[in-house]
């Protein structure tokens, strides 16, 4: 009985190992294919991206001149007060 049990376990282990070997070969093959595809998709040197430049926004308490686009009127006030007028679209900051 003990001998029969060992033979069954040995057969089961052989099947399991054969499945593992096939799985490893499949993984290796797919890895090679992925590497080949990656090399084909790369065309030339890598692209360098320039940093994004953002216009400097005045501080809350800085005084700014704003221009009314409808009638040409100009005002000088703190940015925190002018921000509301600028957001409506009728006013614009003048340098």
Q: In this structure, is residue 82 part of a structural domain?
A: yes
Q: In this structure, is residue 53 part of a structural domain?
A: no
Q: In this structure, is residue 52 part of a structural domain?
A: no
Tell me: the pLDDT tens digits for 19-30?
Answer: 555 566 778 888
Q: In this structure, is residue 11 part of a structural domain?
A: no
Q: In this structure, is residue 67 part of a structural domain?
A: yes
pTM, whole model, 2 decimals? 0.44
Q: In this structure, is residue 41 part of a structural domain?
A: no
Q: In this structure, is residue 19 part of a structural domain?
A: no
23 vs 34: CA distance, rounded Å: 16
Q: In this structure, is residue 85 part of a structural domain?
A: yes
**Domain with 88 in it:** 63-94
Tell me: the pLDDT tens digits for 33-59?
Answer: 888 888 777 767 777 889 999 988 899
73 vs 48: CA distance, rounded Å: 45
């Amino acid at each position: 009985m003990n001998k029969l049990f060992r033979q069954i376990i040995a057969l089961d282990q052989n099947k399991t190992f054969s499945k593992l070997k096939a799985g490893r070969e499949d993984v290796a093959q797919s890895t090679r294919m992925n590497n080949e595809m990656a090399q084909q998709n790369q065309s030339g040197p890598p692209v360098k991206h320039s940093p994004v430049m953002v216009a400097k926004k005045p501080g809350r308490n800085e005084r700014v001149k704003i221009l009314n686009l409808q009638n040409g009127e100009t005002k000088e006030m703190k940015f925190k007060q002018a921000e509301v007028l600028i957001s409506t679209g009728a006013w614009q900051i003048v340098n």
